Amino acid sequence: MLLAILCPFLSFMFRGKIFTAIICLILQLTLIGWLPAALWAAMSLNNSRAERRNDRLIKEIRKSRR
């Protein structure tokens, strides 16, 4: 999460979202754009974690119904 706030474009790069990282880098190069880029990266990271958690829960529910 710290990486998403301090270097938002690196957060996207490490997760394999190259095109999004480039857009985020362009946004964060402006001083005004740094805050939106950091918020975007942090929200994206949280959404990614939530999706993985939900996928695991769905997988476990399907296993228990068998």
pTM: 0.75
pLDDT beyond 90 at 59: yes
13 vs 3, higher pLDDT: 13
Q: Report domain extents, the chain.
A: 2-64
pLDDT beyond 90 at 51: yes
Per-residue pLDDT at 28: 86
Q: Count CA atoms closer than 13 A to 28's CA, side-chain side.
A: 21
DSSP result, 8-51 = HHHHHHHTT-HHHHHHHHHHHTSTTTHHHHHHHHHHHHHHHHHH
Q: What is the mean pLDDT of the chain?
A: 87
Per-residue pLDDT at 2: 73
Q: Dmax of the chain from CA atoms? A: 54
Query: In Å, how far from its chain's centre is CA 48?
Result: 6
